Amino acid sequence: MKLFKIRGGVHPHDNKHLAAGQAIEDLPMPALLHIPLQQHIGAPAKPAVRRGQQVAKGDLLAFSQGVISAPVHAPTSGRVMGVGSYPAHHASGLSVRTVTLKPDGEDRWSDEIQGVSDPFALTPEEIATRVAAAGIVGMGGATFPSAVKLNLRTRYRLHTLVINGAECEPYLTCDDRLMREHAEEVIDGVRIMAHALGVERIIVAIENNKPEAQAAVALAASVDPRIRVARLPTRYPMGSEKHLVQALTGRETPARGLTADIGVVVHNGATAFAVHEALRFGRPLVSRIVTVSGGAVSRPRNLRVPIGARVQDLLEYCGGFTEQPAQLISGGPMMGQPLPSTRVPMVKGSNGVLALTGAEAAGHEPMPCIRCATCVQACPCGLVPLDMAAHTRAGDLDGAVSLGLMDCIGCGSCAYVCPAHIPLVQYFNYAKGEMAARGRAKQKMTETKRLAEQRTARMEAIKQAKREAMAKRKREAAAKKAAETAAADAATMTSGAAAEPTATTAEA
C-alpha cells in the first residue's frame, strides 16, 4: 500500500539481533508476586481482597474506579499475603498500593472464567464491557484502558483500525515474536476490535526489519479482505501513534487531538492478542510478553511473565549479568525509564527490561549549543528543540510552551543526534512535568476559591435564614401581643358594661 512521508526521525542501531531469534518462553512462577493496583492511566484500582484470602487464577484482586481505570486480576492461584505498599515500576521508586500474592503452585484458573463461542454475535457494547472487565490496557506502554478506545465509536465517525506493530524502539522484540508465533490469535483479536468499532478498513503496520512477522501476519490476515499489511520503513519513531497514522493515511492529527478526530483508532498487536484471550476464553490480562536484553544480560530472551514478578526474577532466569550494567531501563533506550532497582514488579505496560553496558549507555559531558539545527531536522513534530531548551534553561516555561512544548512526544530523536550531547528530552520532560504541576496548583487554587465562595454563600444563606426567622418570630410575637392587648381591652369593656346597671338599681 502507498505510504506517505513523515518529517524528521533517526536511524539508531536497533540491536534487535540479541533477542529476535529467541522464541517466547514461560518464566517459572516466582515465590511471591507483587501486583500494583496502579498499572494504567487513570484512577488506581480499589482492593477487592483481604489478607489470607485464597484466590484462583483470574480472580478479581481490585476493581476499577471510574471510567478511566482498569481492574486487576490474580496472575495465578494462591493466598493473599497482604495489601500494602511496595516500590513502583517507576523511575521515582516511590511505593504504591500493592497486593502481595503467594502462589500455591497449582496455577488453577477460576471456575468463573468463561469465553464466548462467537464474539461476533455480541454487540459492540458487550465487547467493550468484556474488554473492560478483563483489565486490558494499551500494551505498547501507554496503558490507556482499551475499552475506552473501543467506545470511541459513539463520539467519532471511525473508518480505520490501525494495529501498531512497528516496535521501532531498539532492543525490543516482544511484539515481533508475538506476531510470529501467534499471528492467528492476534488477527482474531484485531477482527473482534474492528467489529466493536464498526470500521470498514484494517491496517496492520510492521517495520521492514521484521520480515518473518510480516509474512506470518499476512498469511493469517488472508481470511479477511478488509485487512492490509503495511510494510513500514525502518525508522524511529515510526511507532509513534500520530506519525504512524500520518505515514499510512497522509493525514495529520490535530495538535493535542486524537487520531479519532480523523476517523482512525490505533491499538497495539499485544492488545489485540489480549482481546482474543478475553473474548474467546474469558481470560483477563494477567501476563505479558517481555524482552530481556542488553549487552550486560547473559542470555537475552523473550519471556511470558506473570504480572507482579520482580525484575530480579526475569534477570535471574536469563542467567544474570555478564558484567555490572551501567544502566537498567524499563522499555526501550529511547523512551524508556531508568529502573530504581531490580526489586520492582512487572506491570501491564512493561514491554522490556534492558541491562546496558558502559559502552552501550556511554554518556558524554554536555557542551554549549552550537546552533547547528541538527535537532530541528530530526524532530518528527516539526519543533525547534534548541529554542525550547533555551527557554526551559532560562526558566521561561511559558515561552517553551508557546514554541510547541506540549506537542513534543518525548521520542528523544533530538537528543540522539545532538553533537553537543545536550540532554534535550530531559529538559522537555522536566518542563512538561513542571507545567503539569503548575496546572494542578492552579486547579487547586481555583477549586479552593470555588469552595470558599460556596462556603461564604452557604454561611450568608444561613445568616439570612436566621435573620428571616428572627424577623418572623418578632412579627409573630408582635401579632400575638397585639391580639392579647385587644383581647384584654375587649374584656375590660365587657366587664365595665355589665357593672353599670347594678349601680343604677342600688341608687333607685
Binding-site members for [4Fe-4S] cluster are 369, 372, 375, 379, 408, 411, 414, 418
Alpha-carbon span 33 to 75, nearest angstrom = 8
Alpha carbons within 13 A on the beta-carbon side of 316: 11
Strand 54-55 and strand 78-87: the pairing is antiparallel
User: Would you tell me how many other CB atoms lie within 10 Å of the CB of residue 34?
Assistant: 24
Q: Tell me the three-class secondary structure of 142-198, residue by residue.
A: CCCEHHHHHHHHHCCCCCEEEEEECCCCCCCCHHHHHHHHCHHHHHHHHHHHHHHHC
What are the two backbone dihedrals, phi and then psi, of residue 199, each rounded to the nearest 5 degrees?
-90, 155
Q: Which amino acid is at 351?
A: N
Alpha carbons within 13 A on the beta-carbon side of 328: 18
Q: Mark the binding-site residues, compressed into ranges.
A: 369, 372, 375, 379, 408, 411, 414, 418
Alpha-carbon span 57 to 106, nearest angstrom = 9
User: How far, CA to CA in Å, does 7 sit from each of 162, 412, 424?
Assistant: 20, 15, 19
Alpha-carbon span 14 to 372, nearest angstrom = 26
Decide: 16 and 176 in contact? Cβ < 8 Å.
Answer: yes
